């Protein structure tokens, strides 16, 4: 006996395609969010590893974090004292930390690329590989030993304690951060925390909704972008009497 094979009709085929399209529209954003969550966790691990490198350095150098007196002599700016091929603010990561890190791939967050950040301030288009891809920044109040916070004992006397003072943060200005940068998209942020708030300089973006932060006691955690607060931007009309920050950048501040 011969049995006739029945093929799909055009209507059935269109229904199947429509169902697949609906499922893709639902699942692709879910997959994208899951992938970004995994990258954020990997980035948090990078920050933690960098923090261990800084603290191991301190154990080898009389309980002092890496730091130099900015501007006190011709060769005492970071881009001169800790020189890298282009000369920039990344010297503390490229020269000081490698003996404690071994793997320089952790210098780049998986969510970031080499474009859209302040990678190499002398030549954005032709930065060498060892100067590109830096996703993390060191607190300038510790980097600049003139501030008096390079010693771990000084951080221990911070108003809120070392567990509240940020030491390494991911951001757009590869190598160094402070609390008086008021750049950002229009309307510009006036609280001095733009290097922390934005992970890409151009265009201004936050890949995973906020930065991962390493604190001076060695623990690391994520902070949502809208949780970042500072009332210390005195140079741009902020209330200088309220030294309140989250995360704390200047160790003399308190948290809201």
Residues 32-38, mean pLDDT to the nearest whole number: 78
Residues 59-79 have pLDDT tens digits of 999 999 998 888 776 666 665
| Residue 51, H or E segment | helix 10-60
CB 112 within 8 A of CB 173: no
Q: Which helix (H) or strand (E) holds 25?
A: helix 10-60
pTM for the full model?
Answer: 0.81
Tell me: pLDDT of 82 over 80.
Answer: no
Say if residue 23 is exposed, middle or buried (CB neighbours under 10 Å; 0-12, 13-18, 19+): exposed
Phi, then psi, of 30 in degrees rounded to 5: -65, -45
CA dihedral defined by 196, 110, 176, 180, rounded to 10 degrees?
-10
- Mean pLDDT for all residues in the chain: 80
pLDDT of residue 79: 59
CB contact set of 59 (below 8 Å; sequence gap of 6+):
none
pLDDT digits (tens, 9 = 90+) for 14-27: 888 888 888 877 87
Of 89 and 83, more confident: 89
Sign of the torsion formed by the C-alpha atoms of 58, 63, 69 and 74: negative
What digits encode the pLDDT tens for the residues 162-201?
A: 999 999 999 888 788 998 887 777 766 778 888 898 888 7
List strands edge to edge, sheet with 175-177. 175-177, 136-139, 166-170, 212-215, 220-222
pLDDT for position 6? 67
Confidence of residue 57 (pLDDT cuts 50, 70, 90): very high
Q: What is the mean pLDDT of residues 233-251?
A: 72
Q: Look at residue 122 and tell me whether its pLDDT is greater than 50.
A: no
Which residue would you say has higher pLDDT here, 174 or 225?
225
């Amino acid at each position: 006996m011969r049995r006739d094979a029945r093929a799909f009709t055009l209507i059935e085929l269109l229904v199947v395609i429509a169902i697949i399209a609906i499922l893709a529209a639902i699942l692709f954003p879910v997959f994208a969010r899951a992938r970004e969550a995994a990258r954020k966790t990997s980035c948090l691990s990078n920050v933690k590893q960098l923090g261990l490198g800084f603290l191991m350095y301190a154990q080898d150098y009389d309980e002092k974090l890496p730091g130099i007196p900015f501007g006190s002599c011709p060769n005492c700016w970071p881009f001169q004292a800790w020189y890298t091929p282009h000369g920039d603010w990344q010297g503390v990561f490229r020269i000081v930390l490698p003996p404690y890190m071994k793997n320089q791939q952790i210098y780049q967050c998986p969510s970031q690329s080499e474009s859209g950040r302040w990678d190499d301030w002398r030549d954005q288009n032709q930065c060498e590989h060892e100067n590109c891809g830096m996703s993390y920044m060191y607190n300038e109040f510790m980097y600049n030993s003139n501030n008096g916070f390079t010693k771990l004992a000084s951080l221990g006397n911070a108003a809120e304690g070392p567990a509240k003072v940020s030491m390494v943060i991911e951001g757009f200005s590869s190598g160094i951060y402070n609390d008086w940068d008021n750049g950002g998209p229009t309307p510009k942020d006036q609280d001095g925390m733009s290097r922390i708030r934005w992970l890409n300089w151009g265009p201004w973006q936050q890949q995973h909704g906020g930065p991962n932060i390493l604190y001076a006691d060695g623990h690391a955690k994520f902070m949502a972008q809208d949780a970042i607060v500072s009332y210390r931007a005195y140079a741009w009309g902020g209330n200088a009497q309220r030294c309140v920050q989250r995360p704390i950048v200047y160790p003399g501040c308190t948290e809201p």
